């Protein structure tokens, strides 16, 4: 279930949990970077600072308003940080706004990756697979042509951000594959061969799991050896 961060009073949080089919979680300083979408009440402390901070982490932001916040709403919507402004009790439009944001996220085609001293705009079509090193606690984006980009970021955060992007498939714990770049599944050598001829060694059982998702057969003419 998609996690959505909420910074609002407990009554509103309870209302959202009871009426909408998402995993709403109260934001804290420790978990504020875990969400694709955040809902902030206009009355919270340090609103402007929180908006800029969450936006810089790639979060989509919905602001909840009262009936007397029309002026503030116009200012917020003109900013580059806020996706939508909705009345607090308008659950129907809150749900619609969340759905619109999820559709928009599905239309993304690039990553903007930011490390301390290194930043890059990476096309989805350049990412072969993403894996996690438990020793360094870093997530590595393995790119075409033997290039890579490493972030000090929990792998679960990356999973959540990519949950609704169809080409990325979680093959096992700490490994996400870009299925659109797979050329061959080599069961004999136990390896995935990508379109740039890069190789990822993986067990036969995991390759079978990948094949059984029907990712490879949908929209394709399937031809098999007669003895299969």
pLDDT tens, 9-23? 999 999 999 999 899
pTM for this prediction: 0.63
- List, in sequence order, every residue forming a beta bridge with 42; answer none if it has no partner: none
pLDDT score of 103 more than 80: no
Q: Which residue has the higher pLDDT, 106 or 65?
A: 65
For the domain bounded by 110-211, which CATH number is listed?
2.40.50.1020
pLDDT tens-digit readout, 166-176: 889 999 999 99
The phi and psi torsions of 12 (rounded to 5 degrees) equal -70, -40
Query: Quick check: 138 and 151 in contact, CB under 8 A?
Result: yes
| Stretch(es) of the chain classified as CATH 2.40.50.1020 | 110-211
Q: Is the pLDDT score of 191 beyond 90?
A: yes
Cβ neighbours around 137 below 10 Å, total:
11
CA distance 205 to 27: 39
Q: Where in the chain is the domain with CATH 3.40.50.2300?
A: 3-106
CATH class of 3-106: alpha beta
Structure tokens at 115: 């490390």
Backbone dihedral region for residue 32 (phi beyond 0: left; psi -120 to 50: alpha; all else: beta):
alpha
């Amino acid at each position: 279930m998609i996690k959505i961060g909420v910074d609002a009073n407990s009554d509103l949080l309870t209302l959202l949990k009871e009426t909408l089919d998402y995993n709403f979680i109260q934001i804290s300083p420790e978990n504020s970077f875990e969400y694709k979408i955040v809902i902030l009440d206009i009355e919270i402390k340090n609103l402007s600072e929180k908006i800029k901070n969450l936006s810089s982490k790639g979060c989509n932001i919905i602001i909840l308003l009262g009936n007397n916040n029309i002026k503030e709403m116009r200012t917020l919507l003109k900013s580059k940080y806020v996706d939508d402004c909705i009345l607090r009790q308008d659950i129907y439009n809150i749900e619609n706004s969340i759905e619109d944001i999820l559709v928009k996220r599905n239309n993304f085609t690039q990553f903007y990756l930011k490390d301390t001293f290194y930043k890059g705009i990476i096309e989805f079509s350049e990412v072969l697979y993403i894996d996690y090193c438990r020793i360094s606690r870093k997530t590595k984006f393995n790119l075409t042509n033997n290039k890579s980009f490493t972030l000090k970021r929990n792998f679960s955060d990356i999973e959540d951000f990519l949950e609704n992007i169809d080409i990325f498939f979680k093959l096992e714990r700490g490994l996400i594959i870009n299925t659109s770049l797979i050329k061959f599944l080599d069961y004999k050598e136990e390896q995935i061969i990508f379109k740039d001829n890069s190789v990822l060694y993986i067990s036969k059982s995991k390759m079978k799991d990948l094949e059984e998702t029907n990712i490879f057969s949908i929209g394709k003419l399937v031809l098999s050896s007669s003895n299969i």
